Amino acid sequence: MASILSPAPGNVGVVRSIDDKIYVGLRPLSTRTYVAVARGSKARPFAVVRASSEKKVSVKSSGLSIEECEAAAVARKFPDPPPLYRPQGPKGTPVVQPLPLSRRPRRNRKSPALRAAFQETTLSPSNFVHPLFIHEGEEDVPIGAMPGCFRLGWRHGLLEEVYKARDVGVNSFVLFPKIPDALKSQTGDEAYNDNGLVPRAIRLLKDKYPDIVIYTDVALDPYSSDGHDGIVREDGVIMNDETVHQLCRQAVSQARAGADVVSPSDMMDGRILAIRMALDAEGFQDVSIMSYTAKYASAFYGPFREALDSNPRFGDKKTYQMNPANYREALVETEADEAEGADILLVKPGLPYLDIIRLLRDNSSLPIAAYQVSGEYSMIKAGGVLKMIDEEKVMMESLLCLRRAGADIILTYFARQAASVLCGMKGN
């Protein structure tokens, strides 16, 4: 415990020591002796509880009492201040007249304390949602294209990873399953199996860590033998309304297992309203919907598809995911998702689409999420391994940029690593 200042009759105050240590928070910094100071006594050295380990500044004492110091001040007899020193530029610096500037923005950047005081955007572990890949095996399997990421065994590795993430303040997680090929079908029926991989993992996590927030992915591609987010017609067309029917069953199954937020990533038309109605009809009014509102047909998803073994068997996803060239179209999706009952709007990918994040932020009062996707993660990791960039600094800057653009939460594979850095630990 630190020192306390208690008033005493006839005294200015008494500094009373509870113990002999200086504390920051609850941690002692150093041993320090405290001496009482009473009115009328000669000035004696005493210690001040400091919030850092800065060096003690030595000031020569005049030996005067408070009354004597006050009398000297009334008589305008002040001690000489230290001489003013102005640092000089290097030899050869031109001598110029100061520019007649009414504003100099650098004034607010001149010290760490000022920069911290005026920082507009902040990062916290509470801003992160940690994506986790799970599979039926017991061993954790490394993902080659995503260094540091694994397919986690749902009964062991998953619990351990969540434990480590919670230890640094990350309490939100989204699950992505690697489904055995034998369970995949053209209609993706395994997606709504109440005893499937995802529902089992949700129940296990909620039993062990009831306070965490579990997001789920609502889409058929991990369960489809065709690798698409919807049911594929014989001519290759992705069927919209029939897919939405399956997605509703999937969302209800996930809610029944204990999911807090279901996240349709399929980009079918009308699925938000249909899922909202299906959840409400089953009594899950409190389950939120995070819509992948602006999900683009991006080349940045490659490592993710390796992680889930969910590459399309043919063609691409351009008939349902958005064209990367389109900006205004994101407003069409935003208006539809808001009207249909979405609780959170998501933009995917993240960094290459900062303008879209800002667009949604400026046009919606709903929370905005950004997904820093696998390709973004892998590029930063690769650059760090090759010593082309400082991985930790680029990681933190990239996340800060997503927040600055308007994202309230960020789905990122860096969640635990970045949270460790924010907690003052090495970001491993």
Question: What Cα–Cα distance (Å) separates residue 198 from each residue in 90, 91, 129, 185, 222?
Answer: 65, 69, 17, 17, 11
Q: How far apart are CA 219 and CA 265, in angstroms?
A: 6
CB environment 274-286: b (16+ within 10 A), e (fewer)? bbbebbeeeebee
In degrees to the nearest 10, what's the CA dihedral of 211, 422, 121, 385? -110
Residue 55 annotated among the catalytic residues of the structure: no
Residue 387 annotated among the catalytic residues of the structure: no
Q: How far apart are CA 127 and CA 396, in angstroms?
A: 13
Q: Which of 295, 318, 387, 426 is catalytic?
A: 295
Q: Which of 348, 381, 387, 393 is catalytic?
A: 348
- 135 with 142: CB under 8 angstroms? no
- 152 with 403: CB under 8 angstroms? no
Q: How far apart are CA 297 and CA 53, in angstroms?
A: 52
For residue 71, how far is the Cα from the chain centroid?
Answer: 58
Q: Catalytic residues, which ones?
A: 295, 348
